Structure 1
C-alpha cells in the first residue's frame, strides 16, 4: 500500500442568486474546505427583486450580508458580482466580466447551473460561464487579470428540486449536511419569502433532495453533478471530493 498526496485545488462555485450555491452544492463545497482546498463562491445577481415587501436597494444590501455570513459558515471566499436580479443577459460585455472573474481565481474546477434549469438567470449564468471559460485562457484577450494557466473542468450542479437533472457523479455529503443547512439558514430573507408565498421550507427541500440523491448514490445524503464534456477537458482522476477518512487529510491509499 502506498500514499499519494493530493495538492490543494482552487474551487469556484458560481450561482445566479445569493442562495443558489447553498441549495445545490454547499455540502460538496464544505467537503472541499475540510480537505484543505480553497473554495470561492461567486454570486452573479444581487437578488434585489426577490421580496415583495422590501425595497430593491435595501434587499440587495440584506442579501449580500446574508451571503457573506453563509460563506463564513462554509469557510469560503465570497465574490459579489452585483448584476440586477431577473435581468441577466448573455452579452459580450458580460462575458468579458466573467472572463476576468475566472482569471482572478484561476480555478481548477468550476461548478455552476445546468443549461436547462428553470430560471433564466440560472440558464444565462450557465451560458456565460461556459462561453467565458475558453476565453479565460487566451492571453490576447485582455482584462485586468492575466489569462488562466490551465484547462478548467466544469461541472453542472443539480436543478432546484432535482427536476430534469440526471447526475453522472455524486458526492456523499452526509457529514456536511448540517453545515449546508446552517449556511442556507443565513439567507433568512429568502427562506422567509419562500415560506410566506409558496409554503415551501427550503431547509426541508435540501434535506429531501439530499436524501433522494443519497439513495441513488448509495449513501445517506448526496449531491449530484454532471461534468461538461469538451475537447481537452477530460479527466484521468476524480476531482469531486470523496468522503472516506483518508481523503479528509488530502491523502488517498493505493494498493
Structure 2
C-alpha cells in the first residue's frame, strides 16, 4: 500500500535532524512525502534581516525536500513565538488536511525548545479535529493518521520505544541536513557546535542502542483512536 506521509517540524531543519533517514527510506519505497514547517526560522542566523533570513531558510528547506521529492508546507509563524491558539491549531489542521497522511511524525513535547514542544502539542491536538467535517478550513477533512513522536535534541528526556535502521541512507540523510547552510554558522555561534556532527552522533547513539551503525528513535503515539503501528515504518528494529 502506498502511503502519504507527513512530518511536522517547528523549524526548517528539525525534520532533517530527527527523521530524515526514515523519510528517505519511505520515499524510496514510493510513498508520498510532505514536510510541514511551522515557523520561518527568521531569527536563526547571525546576520541579515528577519525577512531575508526567512526567505533563505525557506529556500534551504525546499532544497532539502527536493532531494527526496517531498512537498514543503510552509506555515510561516515567527521563530521563537509559536503558541497554541485557535489560529495555529487551524493552520496545523489545514497542514494535515493538505497532506491527507496515513502516517504522521510529530515533535516531542519533552524537547528543550519551546517551539518544538508547542509544535508537538498542536500537531497532537490537531490530529483528530483534522477529521471533523464541521471544522472548516481550506482543505477537506482527513482520516486520523497513525502518529509517531520523533526524538529530541541530543535525546534529552526521550526514551525510544523502537528504532528505524537508517544505516543504508546515512549519507543521504547528511545531504538533506547540509542543505540548511545557514544553520551551520548559527549553531556554531549559539551553541559552539557542528550541526552535522551533532545529528550524526545522535543517529550513531541510537544505532548503538538498537544494535546497528545508525538509527532514528521513535515513540508510537498511543492516543485514542489507535489506527496503525510499527508495521508502517521501514527497517524497524528493537520495538519494546
Q: TM-score range by the shorter chain?
A: over 0.9
Corresponding residue for residue 123 of structure 2: 129
CA contact (8 A) 1:26 1:74 kept: no
Match of 2:161 in 1: 168
Q: 1:153 and 2:150 equivalent?
A: no
Corresponding residue number in structure 2 for 1:70: 64
Does the Cα contact within 8 Å between 1:74 and 1:179 map onto a contact in 2?
Answer: no
Offset, 1:231: 1.7
Show structure 2 runs of 5+ residues with no match.
none
2:35 maps to which of 37, 41, 47: 41
Aligned residue number for residue 110 of structure 2: 116
RMSD (CA atoms)? 1.5
User: Partners of 2:230 and 2:82 in 1: how far apart?
Assistant: 35
1:238 maps to 231
Structure 2 equivalent of residue 57 of structure 1: 51
Equivalent residues of 1:173, 1:243 under 8 A apart? no
TM-score, normalising length: structure 2 = 0.95
CA contact (8 A) 1:30 1:75 kept: no
Return the TM-score normalized by structure 1. 0.89
Larger radius of gyration: 1
CA drift at 1:79: 1.1
83, 90, 93: which one aligns with 2:87: 93
Q: Distance in 2 between matches of 1:176 and 1:65?
A: 23
Question: Contact 1:114–1:158 (CA<8 Å) still a contact in 2?
Answer: yes
- Give the CA deviation at 1:234: 4.7
User: What's the counterpart of residue 76 of structure 2?
Assistant: 82
| Inter-CA distance 122–237: structure 2 relative to 1 (3 Å threshold) | closer
Question: What is the total number of aligned residue pairs between the two structures?
Answer: 237
Residues of 2 paired with 1:71 and 1:123: CA distance? 23
Aligned to 2:180: 187
2-structure distance, mates of 1:192, 1:237: 37
Structure-2 change in CA distance of 1:138 and 1:49 (3 Å):
same
